[in-house]
Amino acid sequence: MKIQQLSDQLASQIAAGEVVERPSSVVKELVENAIDAGATNINVDVRQGGRESIQVADNGQGIAAEEIETAFLRHATSKLTTIEDLNAIRTLGFRGEALAAISAVSQVTIVSRSEGTDAGTRLVLEGGEVVNREAVGAPQGTVIAVENLFYNVPARLKFLKTAATEKRLIDEFVTRYALAYPQIRFRLTHNGRITFQSSGSGQVRDVLVAIYGPEIARQLLEIGDWRMEIEGEQSSHSPIEVTGFVGPPGVHFANRGQITLFVNGRWVKDTQLTYAVIQAYHTLLPSGRYPLGLIFMQLPPEDVDVNVHPTKTEVRFRQGKAPFSTVQRAVRQTLVADAPTRQMSAWALGSNNGGESPGWMGALNPEAFIGASGEQADLALSWLDESAAPSEADGALPLPQMEGDSGSHLPIMRVVGQVGASYIITEGPEGMFLIDQQAAHQRALFEQLQAEWAADNVTVQTLSTGTAVTLSEPQAQLLAQFQESVARIGVQFEAFGPNTFMVRAVPKIAASADPARLLIAVVTELEQSKGVVEEAGLVTAVCQTISLRPGQSLTLAQMEQLIHNLEKCTDPFTDPQGKPTFIYLSVAQLAREFGRI
């Protein structure tokens, strides 16, 4: 075949294919033009998934009558004049291709009236050729109707997906832009039915409600204005700003479709940034589930290259990894802030109790829990919702209500299950824990009672009937001798006959325990300490008596409550006698055991 130049029309049709792939790309280009025109109202009406018609109406600045034909020429734009402008694009469009491309492959009718003119202009184009032009009365703004898309490109037509698929893509697109431009009122109809509407109130939350419904929208966490100064020669020293919303760990989806990224008001698809969001949820979501993230990044336009692809959904950053880590930190910080009591930063400092650690702790380097760098420390977030804590009614364990976030030394853990009704398996950020339920429970009880006792303020439960306990002669003498010390830990009793005592009150945390057993445990402790009474020993004795035992099966809620309380302990590593509360297997250890590394 001879070499010859393509006809203008053929060249336009080929070029059109890059910009206009499908109906949703037409919607995208027209809506972007409306936004660039400063519209505050944008109505999108679609028929048959856009194959039959797509109409976008706006109340923006309009197009002057004498420029209207020009707008449909290839490379005709009002948004760019010099190559320098390309370095600082502030509009969504700039390539001057969309209207030319759309009109090359469809039948277009445009009615537009520009600001400050009396009459509007109506232009009809077919395959890019103007077939009709007239002056008409019209409100200020622009209405563009695109009919019979790809009517002259049968190859394209064949590859169009179903109307339902196109509808979904159009919905997605319009709702995403409504989020990025909450001050604009959007309305979307399919075959005459309104499927989405935003109020234009300027509040992103209102748009979130319109998209996700009030239940999910209410739970979303707002990313506090997050800035990161960029250092390095190439940067303009302007910060990257990140705002937006993220879902709490309890809200998750089957795919990444709910992670939406905007860079300087432009919806972009960037796998790296998407991954940054997913990373921030590390260990917080069940495997195979993805978070909801709505991320708005603002950075100096000269630091982003948006001219990567005709569809302008890809961007390149001049600042290398900075955008990635800024997004990751912003999201993580938001999640951490939502779960202040579950931070593990204190863990990084570790209160490894010096030489007293049992041997097995040698392998237990606090760093191991948080990965290589201390920077990971803020990774541990709440897996469990506070509200998920069981109430007394569903069989709550006698557990202390511990105060706030004073010293959290364990990472946040997710309960996996119970083994042999004795051990609890949990997952932490960097590995798994096998927890001795009895030891863990004793530790949690001990810290509570110990703290109350140290403040001379043990909360007691008075027994309405009292319980009589008869002891041996020497035991009775011992108990009478130390009555005051014993009362200070909350076990109150009085003489009730020969070698017999009546228990009147017990520590609140031991309220459900058998008072007789409690008293006997105290006496046994007094006997063993051979007269040198250490109240810490008495506290331990009480805790041993009332704690869980091996062989007691627990509900998930009970396990969660127990683990939550252990997480809050200042010294969670051992029980009050120094026996380990858990065995830890890091991801790396597991990998080694299985011969993966």
Catalog residues that contact ligand ADP under the rule CB under 6 A: 29, 33-34, 37, 58, 60-63, 71, 76-79, 93-100, 142
Tokens of 559: 């396990």
How many CA atoms does the CB half-sphere of 284 hold within 13 Å? Answer: 30
The minimum distance between CB 415 and Mg ion, in angstroms, equals: 53
Closer CB to Mg ion, residue 128 or residue 572? Answer: 128
Residue range at the interface with Mg ion (CB under 5 A); choices 37-45, 63-71, 96-104, 126-134: 96-104
Write down the residue that tokens 């609140």 correspond to.
508
Q: Does 56 bind Mg ion (CB under 5 A)?
A: no
Cα separations in angstroms, 458 against 208, 217, 400, 553? 48, 43, 12, 29
Q: Does 98 bind Mg ion (CB under 5 A)?
A: yes
Closer CB to ligand ADP, residue 37 or residue 364? Answer: 37
Residue range at the interface with Mg ion (CB under 5 A); choices 89-97, 394-402, 441-449, 549-557: 89-97
Residue range at the interface with Mg ion (CB under 5 A); choices 95-103, 288-296, 314-322, 474-482: 95-103
Closer CB to ligand ADP, residue 28 or residue 414? Answer: 28
If 0-12 CB within 10 Å is exposed, 13-18 middle and 19+ buried, where does residue 303 land?
A: buried
Q: What angle do CA 300, 261, 225 make, to 5 degrees?
A: 60
- Decide which of ligand ADP, Mg ion, none touches 303; Cβ closer than 5 to 8 Å per partner kind: none
Q: Does 319 bind Mg ion (CB under 5 A)?
A: no
- Decide which of Mg ion, ligand ADP, none touches 62; Cβ closer than 5 to 8 Å per partner kind: ligand ADP
# of chain residues touching Mg ion (CB under 5 A): 3
Q: What is the DSSP letter of 7?
A: P
Closer CB to Mg ion, residue 55 or residue 581? Answer: 55
The minimum distance between CB 101 and Mg ion, in angstroms, equals: 10
Among 12, 24, 33, 408, binds Mg ion (CB under 5 A): 33
| Contact assessment for residue 440 and residue 566, using Cβ atoms and an 8 Å cutoff | yes
- Decide which of ligand ADP, Mg ion, none touches 310; Cβ closer than 5 to 8 Å per partner kind: none
CA separation for the pair 579, 298 (Å, rounded): 53
Q: By Cβ distance, which residue is nearest to ligand ADP?
A: 93
Closer CB to ligand ADP, residue 80 or residue 337? Answer: 80
- DSSP output for 350-416: ----GGGS-GGGGG--HHHHT-SSGGGGGG---SS-GGGSPPGGGT--S-----TTTT--S---EEE
Q: How many CB atoms lie within 10 A of CB 466?
A: 15
Q: What angle do CA 261, 265, 270 make, to 5 degrees?
A: 30
CA separation for the pair 94, 81 (Å, rounded): 9
Closer CB to Mg ion, residue 34 or residue 246? Answer: 34
The minimum distance between CB 404 and ligand ADP, in angstroms, equals: 54
The minimum distance between CB 36 and Mg ion, in angstroms, equals: 7
CA separation for the pair 397, 131 (Å, rounded): 81
Q: Find residue 120's DSSP bridge partners.
A: 136
The minimum distance between CB 175 and ligand ADP, in angstroms, equals: 20
Give me the residues that bind Mg ion (CB under 5 A), please.
Answer: 33, 93, 98
